[in-house]
């Protein structure tokens, strides 16, 4: 597999300011901006961007000319020592000139084609789930504190998205345009399938649980195929890819509303229900430590599931806002 091209930061900034960056590039720039010094540099370049003309078609400037035009704008915001170093290096001036040239070029293109599909569309969540239908008919369920980014031109020539957090994808088949997801430095490619992608921060793993179809996961160094009923795992620190021959159907219940509790500790079952229904379930962990639950639920409401738990364990529950209190004698 060919290694992926990683654009320079000057390319990313120019394309982002013009609205030409794709979803993966926007995510890369977002990570770069996390450093305060990078954020300050971006703010400075953005201010210069706003002073650029958007009508004339630019010609490549000579390094000396580029420096002569840019130096008055930089001196107000840069220490004198840095200005002196740059003045003595025409190579640095050439880079700046090319950055400005690229910025004007993309700015001009954006003005000429304001509806060219270059705009970024972001779907993000904080404390609630959301399900969106993509232009191709595919659906994405975005878990709490997660994000999906794609361009307005999605499905015109390709189907590419970038994401953070956890999302469940139900992808409409289209062999001519595979569905491609970028998360961290991992790429996931499918034609038509349903699967869950989760970036597990504490463990440093990205997990792809495949409920139907086939998924390919790859980095520039390696590629694996993940089939139905399997979980593909990417360890970010070791850059290792491997397959586990099982999936946790309950962990994706937030999207599928399907649960399979097979002789499971009721405390563990409640943790899955909390994630799926965005609630907090309070019960005495010592009192219910020995209680186990065997039940299957397919697209059932939370009150229905709680009533089954009541009938099975001889408990009662009450709900106050997003908190559910379960009480009973336990299973000792």
Rg value, the chain, Cα: 26
Task: Give yes or no: residues 222 and 278 share one domain.
Answer: no
332 residues of the chain, pLDDT tens digit each = 444 455 677 777 777 776 666 667 777 777 778 787 887 777 777 766 665 554 333 344 444 554 455 455 555 555 554 444 444 444 444 455 555 555 444 443 433 333 334 588 999 999 889 999 999 999 999 999 999 999 988 999 899 999 999 999 999 999 999 999 999 899 999 988 999 999 987 778 999 999 999 999 999 889 999 999 999 999 999 999 999 999 999 999 999 999 999 999 999 999 999 999 999 999 998 889 889 999 999 999 999 999 999 999 999 999 999 999 999 988 86
Task: Tell me the residue range of the domain where 103 lies.
Answer: 9-112
Task: Give yes or no: residues 136 and 167 share one domain.
Answer: yes
Contact 289, 267 (CB under 8 A): yes
The answer to whether residue 54 is domain-embedded is yes
- CA 78 – CA 156 distance, rounded (Å): 44
Tell me which residue of 207, 292, 206 sits closest to 246, measured CA to CA. Answer: 207
- CA 196 – CA 252 distance, rounded (Å): 7
Contact 302, 277 (CB under 8 A): yes
Last residue of a domain, one of 201, 217, 250: 250
- CA 260 – CA 298 distance, rounded (Å): 9
Last residue of a domain, one of 60, 77, 112: 112
Last residue of a domain, one of 250, 268, 296: 250
The answer to whether residue 86 is domain-embedded is yes
- CA 207 – CA 217 distance, rounded (Å): 10
The pTM of this model reads 0.66
Q: What is the CATH number of the domain that holds 163?
A: 2.60.120.1440
The answer to whether residue 97 is domain-embedded is yes
Task: Give yes or no: residues 78 and 18 share one domain.
Answer: yes
Task: Give yes or no: residues 154 and 221 share one domain.
Answer: yes
Tell me which residue of 33, 110, 116, 44 sits closest to 82, measured CA to CA. Answer: 44
User: What's the number of domains the chain is made of?
Assistant: 3
Q: What is the CATH number of the domain that holds 279?
A: 3.55.50.30
The answer to whether residue 1 is domain-embedded is no
The answer to whether residue 2 is domain-embedded is no
């Amino acid at each position: 597999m060919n290694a992926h091209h990683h654009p320079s930061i000057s390319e990313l900034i120019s394309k982002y300011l013009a609205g030409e960056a794709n979803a993966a590039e926007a995510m890369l720039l977002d990570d770069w901006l996390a450093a305060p010094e990078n954020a300050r540099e971006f703010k400075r370049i953005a201010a210069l961007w706003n002073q650029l003309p958007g009508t004339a078609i630019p010609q490549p400037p000579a390094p000396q000319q580029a420096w002569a035009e840019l130096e008055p704008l930089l001196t107000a915001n840069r220490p004198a020592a840095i200005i002196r170093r740059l003045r003595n290096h025409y190579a640095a001036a050439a880079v700046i000139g090319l950055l400005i040239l690229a910025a004007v070029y993309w700015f001009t293109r954006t003005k000429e084609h304001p509806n060219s599909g270059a705009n970024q569309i972001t779907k993000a969540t904080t404390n609630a789930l959301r399900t969106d239908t993509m232009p191709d008919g595919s659906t994405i369920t975005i878990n709490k504190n997660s994000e999906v980014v794609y361009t307005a031109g999605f499905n015109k020539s390709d189907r590419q998205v970038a994401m953070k957090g956890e999302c469940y994808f139900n992808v409409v088949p289209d062999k001519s345009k595979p569905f491609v997801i970028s998360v961290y430095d991992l790429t996931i490619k499918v034609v038509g399938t349903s699967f869950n992608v989760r970036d597990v921060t504490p463990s440093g793993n990205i997990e792809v649980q495949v409920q139907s179809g086939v998924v390919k996961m790859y980095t520039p160094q390696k590629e694996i195929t993940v089939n139905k009923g399997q979980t593909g795992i990417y360890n970010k620190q070791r850059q290792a890819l491997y397959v586990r021959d099982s999936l946790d159907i309950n962990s994706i219940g937030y999207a599928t509303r399907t649960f399979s509790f097979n002789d499971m500790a009721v405390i563990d079952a409640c943790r899955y229900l909390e994630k799926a229904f965005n609630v907090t379930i309070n019960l005495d962990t010592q009192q219910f430590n020995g209680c186990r639950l065997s039940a299957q639920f397919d697209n059932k409401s939370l009150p229905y599931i709680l009533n089954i738990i009541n009938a099975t364990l001889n408990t009662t529950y009450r709900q106050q806002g997003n908190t559910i209190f379960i009480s009973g004698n336990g299973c000792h």
